[in-house]
Structure 1
Amino acid sequence: MLQISKLMPQGAGLAPVLIKRAATVELDWDVRQKSRFDATDSAGRQIGVFLPRGTVARGGDVLLAEDGSLIRVIAAAQAVLRITPCSDHGTPYDLIRAAYHLGNRHVPIELKPDHLKIEPDHVLAGMLRAMHLIVTPGNEAFEPESGAYASGGHAPHDHGHEHSHHA
């Protein structure tokens, strides 16, 4: 079994041609949020992934194997609920309200300008429908938000203006 203990977020620092040529591994959200798992890559190799605790693999990340080979992570299609505003009597603002309520329940949620995605949950689906949102089951890649304080997310950066974001 090929061991992996390093993840390169979005293949940072690698030439695009190397990423394109890399083997791939297709993983759903449940597996990608674990720091230790076994899988089979597109070359048919058994891989054992041992990442630092709390590490989350995202679609487009690159795993570096002990033999120096690269394996690009693909977010696998999985069961999701796609949430959209009702075109007859809703507005895009309804998505903001839904995201707020889902966030209060600590639900992993993928945010897009025109829709939200969550993992299937009939209770949450009922709540969202009661808010006059359209909830459609689907099978798509799922990339929930990592959260404002999550490690491994976006690093602090300069916005190019002179003020602090601290209160």
Structure 2
Amino acid sequence: MPADPPTDRLANLPDDDLDPLSLPPEDRPALASALIRGGGDGAADWLELDYDARFLRRKRLTSASGRPVMVDLPETVSLEQGDGLRLETGEVIGVEAAREPLLRVEGENLPRLAWHIGNRHTPCQVGDGHLLIRDDHVLRKMLEGLGATLSPTTERFRPEGGAYGHGRTMGHDHVHAHAADQVAPHPDTTRGHANAHGHHPDFEAQSKQPKS
């Protein structure tokens, strides 16, 4: 009886328990242990990963050509379109952002919509006259309340990386209960970052008014 393919024999082995160098040559995936920012353009082979899959440290993946690759980096990173991973052979394998379901956000006051999205630490890609976010029923209801036009789309998701370049905007574990039902007034940008995170001060003042 022929032996199982290497990918079948290793499929159920947790990534943390897999030492590629301990495997026989026929089972050994290509080892990628160095990240090269922007170094993947023109690579002959690549890894096509969606937004969640591009956040990793140690992971077994399969390249576009079908080659098994073991990514084993010193620390957790957010891979970006055009990055490269150097293999133990010296070859560089590229990183491509996979197409995934997203929500296209359009509206007359796009900066205001972007502010409310960012205030909830939601990953957001800024396009020409539109924003792209991952679909979320709470955000959808909030944005509709702000007058946004929403439409589903499938695109490569490459959200903004934060104020210091590479990195991720992490969403809150929860959204305040009133976020979906009540729209805060447009923020006064002169108030600074202290008020940009959390509730708008005018909204806070309204919420503290005694009930009649």
- Please give the range of the TM-score, normalised by the shorter of the 2 chains: 0.7 to 0.9
The 3 A distance-change label for structure 1 pair 115 and 11 is same
Partner residue, 1:37: 59
Deviation at 1:76, TM superposition (A): 0.1
Deviation at 1:113, TM superposition (A): 3.1
State the AA in 2 paired with 1:130: G
Q: State the number of aligned residues.
A: 140
Partner residue, 2:181: none
Partner residue, 1:50: 72
Runs of 4+ in 1 over 3 A off after TM superposition: 149-153
Partner residue, 2:26: none
Instruction: Return the alpha-carbon distance in structure 1 between the equivalents of residues 58 and 47 of structure 2.
Output: 14
Deviation at 1:114, TM superposition (A): 1.1
**Could you report, residue by residue, the CA deviation over 1:2-26 in whole angstroms, capped at 9, with x for unpaired residues?**
11111111118xxxxxx42420111
1:115 equivalenced with 2:137 (yes/no): no
2:93 to 71, 76, 80: 71
Partner residue, 1:3: 31
Equivalent residue runs for 1:1-167 within 5 Å: 1-11=29-39, 19-85=41-107, 91=108, 94-149=109-164, 151=166
The 3 A distance-change label for structure 1 pair 151 and 61 is closer
Greater strand fraction, Structure 1 or Structure 2? 1
Instruction: Return the alpha-carbon distance in structure 2 between the equivalents of residues 2 and 75 of structure 1.
Output: 20
Instruction: Return the alpha-carbon distance in structure 2 between the equivalents of residues 121 and 112 of structure 1.
Output: 19
Q: Can you give the 5+ residue segments of structure 1 that lack an aligned partner in the other structure?
A: 13-18, 86-90, 154-167
Q: Can you give the 5+ residue segments of structure 2 that lack an aligned partner in the other structure?
A: 1-28, 169-212
State the AA in 2 paired with 1:118: I
State the AA in 2 paired with 1:11: G
Residue pair 1:5, 1:50 contacting (<8 A) in 2 also = yes
Instruction: Return the alpha-carbon distance in structure 2 between the equivalents of residues 152 and 124 of structure 1.
Output: 22
Deviation at 1:51, TM superposition (A): 2.2
Q: Secondary structure at the match of 1:140?
A: strand
State the AA in 1 paired with 2:103: L
**Could you report, residue by residue, the CA deviation over 1:66-99 in whole angstroms, capped at 9, with x for unpaired residues?**
11121111100011111111xxxxx2xx211111
Instruction: Return the alpha-carbon distance in structure 1 between the equivalents of residues 76 and 160 of structure 2.
Output: 15
Deviation at 1:43, TM superposition (A): 2.2
Normalised by the length of structure 2, the TM-score is 0.61
Residue pair 2:78, 2:166 contacting (<8 A) in 1 also = no
Residue pair 2:97, 2:158 contacting (<8 A) in 1 also = yes
**Could you report, residue by residue, the CA deviation over 1:23-68 in whole angstroms, capped at 9, with x for unpaired residues?**
0111000010222222111221111112232421111111111111
CA RMSD of superposed structures (Å): 1.9
Instruction: Return the alpha-carbon distance in structure 1 between the equivalents of residues 112 and 150 of structure 2.
Output: 14
State the AA in 1 paired with 2:73: L
Instruction: Return the alpha-carbon distance in structure 2 between the equivalents of residues 145 and 113 of structure 1.
Output: 14
Once the two structures are aligned, what percentage of the paired residues are identical? 39
Partner residue, 2:193: none
Instruction: Return the alpha-carbon distance in structure 2 between the equivalents of residues 146 and 53 of structure 1.
Output: 17
User: Does 1 or 2 have the higher relative contact order (CA < 8 Å, sep 6+)?
Assistant: 1
